[in-house]
Structure 1
Amino acid sequence: MAHLVTLATCSLNQWALDFTGNTARIIESIKRAKAAGATLRVGPELEICGYGCLDHFLEGDVFLHSWEALAQIIDDPACQDIVLDIGMPVRHKNVRYNCRVICHNRKIVLIRPKMWLANDGNYREMRYFTGWTRQGHVESYYLESIVGQITKQDTVPFGDGIISTKDTCFGCETCEELFTPTPPHGPMGLDGVEIFTNSSGSHFELRKLKTRLDLIIEATKKSGGIYLYANQKGCDGDRLYYDGSSMIICNGKILACGSQFSLEDIEVVTATVDLEEVRSYRTAPSRGMQAQSAPKFPRIDLNIRLSKRMEEHDYQTMGASEPIDLAYYTPEEEIALGGACWLWDYLRRSHAAGFFIPLSGGIDSCATSVIVFSMCRLVVSAMQQKNQQVIDDARRIAGKMDDSQWVPATPQELTKLIFSTCYMGSKNSSSETRKRASELAQDIGAYHVNIDIDAVTTAIVNVFYTWSNWIPRFKSSGGSIAENLALQNIQARSRMVLAYLWAQLLPTFRGHKGGGSLLVLGSANVDEALRGYLTKYDCSSADVNPIGGVSKTDLKAFIAWASTHYDLPILKGFLEAIPTAELEPLTTAQTDEVDMGITYAELSTLGRLRKLDKLGPWGSYCKLLSLWGKPESQGGNAWTARQIAEKTKFFFSKYAINRHKMTVLTPSLHMEGYSPDDNRFDLRPFLYPDCDWQFAKIDRDVEKRERVVGNEGKGEDK
């Protein structure tokens, strides 16, 4: 006899501290879940207040307003006759917890605090919350009066418990707990839990989705069960993009999965599952023996059924959801779509009139511009599909509030209204970069401006000359290194000043009806930031930077992909061009990799060793001996130990010298695990000593290896 239960999970585009909007989206998701016949709905982590409140979690107001919002949700007539798993912060005995609140028909059934907190990489949960360490313990929580007067409860259960209904048992797991060596779903499953809910605030990173999905599949494949994974989506006010992908999995098979990238604020995913399939899956005697000795959880009884009572004829019209195959986006598609969705959220929530970028004719600003074009493609598609939220936001941003019928016919039509590009040329600029910038702007539909900045830089240098009676010269004209750098940097910094001038005045100049200025976009990639190959407070300084977490290698692959998929043949010219800053006279043939003294591919490798493998100079050198010392036929560089040592020391010297630049790095969308973002992800000093000790150890090892090779050679001569 089948026991069919329809379950719902959801992805919500919540915004930190947006209690009004967050509450409305939660209620709407509950309505949609009920309309689909679901009897249990689970939402993202900390969905009431938004996951990214950060230090606001230290404020009592956040807890107060979360209870006020919960009261509004559970008292809403549309939120009855369905079990609700809602995320919010809770203070218990003056300790702050990240909690799930399980509700049903104006009653709180259980408050389940998160046990294992995320506290590495982008996460600092231990700064705000305490993990619940009392496994299998439940105690009384004295309920806030604003909710108690609705539920008619003075106390409710608080702790690590599970919920027993008349027909099944379910328990909660929260985000990081899935990733731990001994996740809660293991012992809960052995104690009879058949449905697991997981509420997450899991951020997007290139190539990360498969890792997350593999863990969930493994969780249910090993011991059976139904897994409801809910995830935040969108930009909630910080450097992260949460990529949704809420899903329902049964016994290791995917039954339903939401989108990873979309402009939908509310996405509800449902599936109908047969509880008997879980019971049949769990028939192994070894599992039964482990279940007998497994820890026992306190059970809170809920006197309802999650499954449907069915007559004989119902079995002919209803059935369990069939498994589906999940296709993954390529990294190029993730850059296009993840960057686009993050930019759209940032734009619509900042009340700006659009974006502005200094378009240099190089691949980085080109890639940033194409991501904006990708955003416009998504927005126009959503408008044509009658997404009212997107329509309202787009008309407001584009200054079309008075035209209730306006829907762009093409992405270029929208791009023209909300995206401005500017080529800031100088006597050191080439006609090729100027031409590429103009043609790209035309192809994507951007409002393009061509200006020359020589008058500005000359005026600034003349101020110095008036004081010093000395004119600095480029190195090619006999100047010193200091003069050469100063003359390059003044060009770069002038472009930043001009970018903000144009960004503030262009909307008014163009007669934009909505008011506001443009957001200035940065375009320094993750490898250049790691090396410090940027001028402090130059045009890499901006409001936001969608490619600041992307490697040069991935950017090139993205541009190659976009040239075909977005029908932009002009992009091939950007790929073929040699990267150059064009800050020195054209006769010097300045190129980025020569300037940096290291290739982009080498930077990516060293960046991963430094951050992901957690290696310093000595550890990186030892690792590179096996990576770069191998013959080219085996994927190495066939380098000697001395060559590897020099490259390692060069990188860490430049990294240390330029680390201070990371303190003012433009906020970037986090996409890459070796990002050097000093403001959140990569917490390291910005004033470093010389690495004498480390470098001397490397040098001694090189000399030792060279002596061995030399002795071997002498033996052969004899």
Structure 2
Amino acid sequence: MGRKVTLATCSLNQWALDFDGNLERILKSIEIAKAHGAKYRLGPELEICGYGCADHFYESDTLLHSFQVLRKLVESPITQDIICDVGMPIMHHNVRYNCRVLFLNSKILLIRPKMLMANSGVYREMRWFSPWKQSRQVEEYFLPRIIQEVTGQDTVPFGDCVLSTKDTCIGTEMCAELWNPNSPHIQMGLDGVEIFTNSSASHHELRKADQRVNLVKSATIKSGGIYLYANLRGCDGDRVYYDGCAMVAINGDIVAQGAQFSLNDVEVITATLDLEDVRSYRGELCQPNMVIEPKRCHRVKVDFSLSSGDDIHLPTHQPITWHFNSPEEEISLGPACWLWDYLRRSEQAGFLLPLSGGVDSSSTACIVHSMCVLLCQAVEGGNSQVLEDVRRVVGDDSYRPEHPRELCGHIFTTCYMASENSSEDTCSRAKGLANQIGSTHMNINIDMAVKGILGIFSVVTGRWPQFRVNGGSHRENLALQNVQARVRMVLAYLFAQLGLWARGKPGGLLVLGSANVDESLTGYFTKYDCSSADINPIGGISKTDLKSFLLYCVEQFQLTALTGILSAPPTAELEPLTDGQVSQTDEADMGLTYSELSVIGRLRKISKCGPFSMFCKLIHTWKDALSPAEVAQKVKHFFRMYSVNRHKMTTVTPSYHAESYSPDDNRFDLRPFLYNTRWTWQFRCIDNQIPLLRVPLLVAAAGGMTWQAGVKDAPPRAEPLNALMAPHNTPKQ
């Protein structure tokens, strides 16, 4: 009958500038697609060179090597008899475009440049690419000689065009174009295009997957059609993790779903669908709206069919219900996969983590444990690539991991760095968790190193600083806390470099950081302390989410040691104990709770609030708990802390990107790091509003609700802040 088509889309773990590896994975995906009977294969965005090339896109080498890979693909026997849709950068008329290249049987069919750029959040596409702005227009593209030699073609169509086969019509979208209010699939659908494809480089953020799925479903629910979605997977070489989720939809229903998190470098999703289902859907529901556009899509015709003449025996894929991971599952899986990519590609022998016995470092340890669980499951499931990588990391060609705890002992070292200010409780909590996950654990006392450094200072200056409880000043107190934190960083790197050597083993370890996104937001850590590490898997995750994640780990991994960690108040343990008990807590030091910081962080970054607009929003959000004057105090306190410590963001450890309010200025939060920390104009605007506000009080009277001035509403006394005297570093273990 010739109406059923088998289509393939995929998730690939590509790596920026890894042209050999990228080529191998592309070819493998095409081979799998053909083995499942597919006649069309869609790949992720910029899959040939990798999406994360950044300023390497400026280099002519990147363009040259991309064409060299394209030649290998075009002339490969694997790519015959299937339409291949691959992504790469192309220069046309001296302008660089992010493109899709469609080819079949050693012929380039068309090149479709991206028309709508991703240029917000973590994306900077306009820095390297220009959008194709000529809607429905196509030009001739002169192929480079290395491609002409294979295809025998001088020119091919380049621009806003669609592919017309003998049995259907295929139109291309690219990543951000799906998210745009004027998505190309709208006009293409009205012009009769039946199959839409989207090649993406869409990164993981907590709670984001449902947006992506809903967009794909809605793309076809209005006017019918088949939608193929391909995405990158893994760490492309930077902070973000691409989380796959390849899928196929028809007429508003998902019929095939790829994994969101997986250690498989190549995942191919195929679906067999009936084109008549699209036509009947449109005929019944959309007929009055299916109009011919004044300027129709430019169709590139190809003498090829996606369907066969005897397809009546082929079953078609039916709608499925998408399974969404909970935020706790996302934290367990996403950063774990990111860590594994970083470890195996950096060719190091494992990780080292300063484990303090608190929520943050314990969360990092649990993510490493989750990584080991995934590795053991992959090996048990027959993933030969994972087994090969594990053997290379541990330095044993015959090794086979049998249990996550045993694997953890090979690749994960934890250390508790005690000082005279550390409590027995935190020490025992760290040791208990290390025993349960199986890490190689050490207890290190840093007092001798701290006293040695202070001794050097005393010899030079003739003075010995004291803690505040012993009569010292604020500046002395802060310096004594910071020297402990920085000694821990030095020792962490020393043991990471020589720890395996001391045990007679080869290789070095990557140092893991464990500062959460809320602490980074306020600068609640010491610059160049043990928050300074090689990578940080929790740097984009809030404290609130980390606590929920640890509760999940108690159930999922039976890590009962986490119960005591969760019940303990977060503390840096950098000031002297009081009667052997902790007297310093994080939230008291910061002057804000972690839940308050999460709200403030989203307002600052996502809602683009400065001090005054944040105050205006929070007087309503927090009206049941705080008076306007108290809200004002918290807002001003946050912006003082934020601006005083903003310079630390220039040195923050590269972190897994999981929250859209990350303050990482290296890629995501482009703000200055030298501020007037007084915020005089902004704070004065806040102060001027407080006397004008009234607190509603419900009064039991015949007239119902009346309004009375709140006694807490008096304008606060000005608190001038001397920027030069502001603490350079707020301590945090």
TM range (shorter): over 0.9
- Contact 2:191/2:290 (CA < 8 Å) preserved in 1? no
Letter in 1 for 2:693: R
- Contact 1:14/1:22 (CA < 8 Å) preserved in 2? yes
Q: Which of 342, 359, 367 is 2:355 aligned to? A: 359
Q: Which of 422, 426, 430 is 1:433 aligned to? A: 426
Q: Does 1:694 align with 2:687?
A: no
Find the counterpart in structure 2 of residue 389 from structure 1: 385
How far does residue 78 in structure 1 lie from its aligned partner after superposition? 1.2
Query: Under a length normalisation based on structure 1, what TM-score does the superposition of the two structures give?
Result: 0.96
Q: Does 1:704 align with 2:716?
A: no
Q: Which of 535, 539, 551 is 1:560 aligned to? A: 551
Question: After TM superposition, where is structure 1 displaced by more than 6 Å over at least 4 residues in a row?
Answer: 707-711
Q: Which of 392, 410, 415 is 2:408 aligned to? A: 415
- Contact 1:187/1:294 (CA < 8 Å) preserved in 2? no
How far does residue 285 in structure 1 lie from its aligned partner after superposition? 7.3
Q: Does 1:447 align with 2:440?
A: yes
- Contact 2:2/2:309 (CA < 8 Å) preserved in 1? no
Alpha-carbon distance in structure 2 between the residues aligned to 1:713 and 1:29: 69
Letter in 2 for 1:608: R
Q: Does 1:640 align with 2:627?
A: yes
Find the counterpart in structure 2 of residue 10 from structure 1: 10
- Contact 2:173/2:185 (CA < 8 Å) preserved in 1? yes
How far does residue 467 in structure 1 lie from its aligned partner after superposition? 1.0
Q: Which of 327, 344, 348 is 2:344 aligned to? A: 348
Q: Does 1:529 align with 2:520?
A: yes
What does residue range 519-668 of structure 1 map to in structure 2 within 5 Å? 519-587=510-578, 589-629=583-623, 631=624, 637=625, 639-668=626-655
Gaps spanning 5+ residues in structure 2: where? Answer: 698-705, 711-733
Cα 1:146/1:440, change in 2 over 3 Å: same
How far does residue 409 in structure 1 lie from its aligned partner after superposition? 1.5
How far does residue 293 in structure 1 lie from its aligned partner after superposition? 3.6
Moved more, 581-590 or 62-71: 581-590
- Contact 2:223/2:286 (CA < 8 Å) preserved in 1? no
- Contact 1:504/1:517 (CA < 8 Å) preserved in 2? yes
Alpha-carbon distance in structure 2 between the residues aligned to 1:304 and 1:122: 40
Find the counterpart in structure 2 of residue 87 from structure 1: 87
Query: Under a length normalisation based on structure 2, what TM-score does the superposition of the two structures give?
Result: 0.94
- Contact 2:376/2:401 (CA < 8 Å) preserved in 1? yes
> How much is the aligned-residue C-alpha RMSD, in angstroms?
1.5
How far does residue 307 in structure 1 lie from its aligned partner after superposition? 1.0
Letter in 2 for 1:596: M
Letter in 2 for 1:255: V
Find the counterpart in structure 1 of residue 134 from structure 2: 134
Letter in 2 for 1:699: D
Count of residues in Structure 1 that have an aligned counterpart in Structure 2 = 698
Alpha-carbon distance in structure 2 between the residues aligned to 1:711 and 1:443: 58
Alpha-carbon distance in structure 1 between the residues aligned to 2:159 and 2:245: 28
Alpha-carbon distance in structure 2 between the residues aligned to 1:126 and 1:580: 43
Instruction: Please give the per-residue CA displacement for 1:468-510, whole angstroms capped at 9, x wherever unaligned.
Output: 1111000000100000000000000000000000000012122
Give 3-state SS (helix, strand or coil) of 2:119's partner.
coil
How far does residue 295 in structure 1 lie from its aligned partner after superposition? 3.8
Give 3-state SS (helix, strand or coil) of 2:198's partner.
strand
Q: Does 1:334 align with 2:315?
A: no
Give 3-state SS (helix, strand or coil) of 2:222's partner.
helix
Q: Which of 646, 661, 669 is 2:656 aligned to? A: 669
Alpha-carbon distance in structure 2 between the residues aligned to 1:262 and 1:532: 34
Instruction: Please give the per-residue CA displacement for 1:101-125, whole angstroms capped at 9, x wherever unaligned.
Output: 0100000000000000101100000
Alpha-carbon distance in structure 1 between the residues aligned to 2:231 and 2:696: 56
- Contact 1:656/1:688 (CA < 8 Å) preserved in 2? yes
Find the counterpart in structure 1 of residue 50 from structure 2: 50
- Contact 1:2/1:275 (CA < 8 Å) preserved in 2? no
- Contact 2:694/2:708 (CA < 8 Å) preserved in 1? no
Cα 1:167/1:277, change in 2 over 3 Å: same
Give 3-state SS (helix, strand or coil) of 2:267's partner.
strand
Letter in 2 for 1:449: M
Find the counterpart in structure 1 of residue 214 from structure 2: 214
Letter in 1 for 2:10: C
Cα 1:463/1:244, change in 2 over 3 Å: same
Q: Which of 376, 382, 394 is 1:398 aligned to? A: 394
Give 3-state SS (helix, strand or coil) of 2:283's partner.
coil
Find the counterpart in structure 2 of residue 634 from structure 1: none
Alpha-carbon distance in structure 1 between the residues aligned to 2:276 and 2:362: 55
Alpha-carbon distance in structure 1 between the residues aligned to 2:709 and 2:232: 62
- Contact 2:88/2:98 (CA < 8 Å) preserved in 1? yes
Alpha-carbon distance in structure 2 between the residues aligned to 1:448 and 1:129: 48
Cα 1:563/1:289, change in 2 over 3 Å: closer
How far does residue 292 in structure 1 lie from its aligned partner after superposition? 2.4
Alpha-carbon distance in structure 2 between the residues aligned to 1:537 and 1:525: 15
Letter in 2 for 1:654: M
